[in-house]
Amino acid sequence: MSTKTKETSARREVLDSSDKSFSNVFSELGRHQLALVVEGTSALCRSSEALRKIQQDAAHEASVFHEETAQKLFTPCQPADLMAIQSELMRFCLQSSGKYWQQILAQAMQTQVEMMRSVSQVLKSEKDTGLKSPLEVLQAAMPPLASSLFPMNAYVADGQTVHH
């Protein structure tokens, strides 16, 4: 009877350990996904601050220029001077709007690069450690048909597959 009890308790330990490892895979997957989301959110927040700074600088520059231009227009001037002021106003508006949009687009690209770099570093570090990621463990646990329909591949920036 004690042999049967030992066999039953050994089976329970195996089942309990497999349940723990399977639940551990899901908790690791959740932790991993949450870490990626939080890191991405951090990059977006930094980008938002940078975008606000670009907007604030552009607004300040435009405010100063328009105030100075208004002061010039409140004083009497010759028609040629008026044309020069209008020309300078037009030049400033075109030049500053081009500079503004160039800075906005550069910041957007910088944000995308930061986000992709953080994801690539996480995926590359998983590959370098030789440990299976939660995605790989889940894919191994999937039935063959499901894994062929839903491949879990991740690519680093240079196009190499990290998870097969």
Please indicate whether residue 10 or residue 71 has the higher confidence score (pLDDT).
71
pTM over 0.75: no
Q: What is the residue-averaged pLDDT of the chain?
A: 76
Please state whether 152 falls in left (phi above 0), alpha (psi between -120 and 50) or beta.
beta
10 Å CB burial of residue 162 (0-12, 13-18, 19+) is: buried
**Predicted local distance difference test score (pLDDT) of residue 115:** 82
Residue 6, pLDDT > 60, answer no
**Predicted local distance difference test score (pLDDT) of residue 155:** 46
Rounded CA-CA distance 41/148 in Å is 32
User: Residue 153: pLDDT band by 50, 70, 90 thresholds?
Assistant: low
pLDDT digits (tens, 9 = 90+) for 23-53: 676 677 777 778 888 888 888 899 999 999 9
User: Residue 5: pLDDT band by 50, 70, 90 thresholds?
Assistant: low
